[in-house]
Amino acid sequence: MLTLEKRPQPSKAWVYAAPILAVVITMIVGGGVFALLGKPPLEAIRTIFYDPIFGDFASYSRPQLLIKAGPLILIAIGLSFGFRAGIWNIGAEGQYIMGALAAAGTGLAFYPMEARWLIFPLMILAGFAGGMVWAAIPAFLRIRFKTNEILVSLMLVYVAEAIQASMALNLMRNPDGHGFPGSRNLSQYPSSANLELVANSGVHWGVMAALTAVIFAYFILARHRFGFDVRLAGQSPRAAGFAGVDAGRLIFVCLLISGALAGAAGMFEVSGPAGRVSIDFNVGYGFTAIIVAFLGRLHPVGILIAGLLMALTYIGGELAQLSLGLPGAAIQLFQGMLLFFLLAVDVMTSYRIRFGKTE
């Protein structure tokens, strides 16, 4: 008989092996799904994971890899603070949207002014503020009324999406757009935040912001008292209380950090790759970042690697859709399986398998 036996201490080997094994299992099962769809599984896996880096279009897809990874890493870093402390912000998608709307509104308010030195910083601050305000709602309700931040933050995503659609159809609609929904193209606005780091690559300052967030998060979690409080609260809330950690303050700060970084990701996206506020501007980065956070073991360096891997599935998935005719839903299923198998394999971190009769 097969049974699970709890380990005396979590296995450090499985902590690092689980994400790798989850990726391998996802490739195997994903290949089976592709075969059921009538597509060559090995070719599909190669197209997703190999061609964007080493294939014929690598010169185009490599910069796109950084562009896609930037918002995922930025949002996941913010989420990791709360997840480590046992604070479950599932509404980063809504905070991402509100940050984008606040930043776009700020940029459009100055149109057609070209004072980039003024508008660029204001858009960044507006992006931070938009995400923070939206994250402050579940934080306040959790602290004041003990509500579940998972449900509140998730429901606020749908409110943010409704506000986004309203803005695209009304207040932010391009007056020169012949009645079509959507704002002006911010990526062509001279004062936008779409300032390329590498000429003609599309790689913008959002990528640099993501790398900066990784560095700061690493030092805060490893060296700062706040990082110690976050780890302690996640491992033992009771011990954290005895150590003088203010639970309400920790909840508020962690949610504001995640909201600020999600809002910043929205700001860089709407002023760069996306270019404008539209009804379908958001593409699920806030939800995908949850996979990135856990795949990276809530560690800044791990999140950096996981963000690049998840971006690879986006770019490779687009190539697979074009070259092999794979449906977009199959790529989304592939990404979802990655989180599912990670959670399944992660059981081995705290448990070991025993074979034999139970007494």
**For residue 199, what are the contacts with CB-CB under 8 A and spacing of at least 6?**
none
Bridge partner list, 320: none
Distance CA 100, CA 358 (A): 56
Match 């190539």 to its residue by tokens: 319
Average pLDDT of the segment spanning 41-46: 93
3-state secondary structure at position 120: helix
Bridge partner list, 354: 3
Distance CA 66, CA 280 (A): 22
Provide the percentage of residues in the chain whose pLDDT is more than 90.
62
**Residue 340 burial class via C-beta count within 10 angstroms: exposed 0-12, middle 13-18, buried 19 and up:** middle
DSSP state letters, 13-32: HHHHHHHHHHHHHHHHHHHH
Distance CA 295, CA 339 (A): 7
Q: How far is CA 9 from CA 2, 85, 90, 130, 159, in A?
A: 21, 20, 29, 42, 42
- Are 316 and 51 in contact, with CB atoms under 8 Å apart? yes
Give the tens place of pLDDT for each residue, 56-114.
Answer: 778 888 888 999 999 999 999 999 999 999 999 999 999 999 999 999 999 888 887 77
DSSP state letters, 140-185: HHHHHH---HHHHHHHHHHHHHHHHHHHHHTTT--TTSTT-SS---
Element (H, E) at 351: strand 351-355
3-state secondary structure at position 5: strand
Q: How confident is the model at residue 316 (pLDDT cuts 50, 70, 90)?
A: very high
DSSP secondary-structure letter at 332?
H
pLDDT at 194 over 60: no
Distance CA 313, CA 115 (A): 38
pTM of this structure: 0.92
Q: Using omega within 30 degrees of 0 as the cis cutoff, is the peptide bond preceding 8 cis? A: no
- Are 138 and 251 in contact, with CB atoms under 8 Å apart? no
Q: How far is CA 338 from CA 26, 97, 117, 201, 290, in A?
A: 6, 25, 42, 29, 11
Structure tokens given for 182: 């959507």
pLDDT at 272: 80
Structure tokens given for 104: 């776009």
- Are 141 and 152 in contact, with CB atoms under 8 Å apart? yes
Cα 16-20-23 angle, rounded to 5 deg: 145
pLDDT at 356: 64
Structure tokens given for 126: 């507006």
Q: How confident is the model at residue 175 (pLDDT cuts 50, 70, 90)?
A: confident
Give the tens place of pLDDT for each residue, 261-314.
Answer: 999 999 999 888 877 899 888 888 999 999 999 999 999 999 999 999 999 999
DSSP state letters, 191-259: TSS--BSSTTT--BHHHHHHHHHHHHHHHHHHHSHHHHHHHHHHH-HHHHHHTT--HHHHHHHHHHHHH
pLDDT at 359: 52
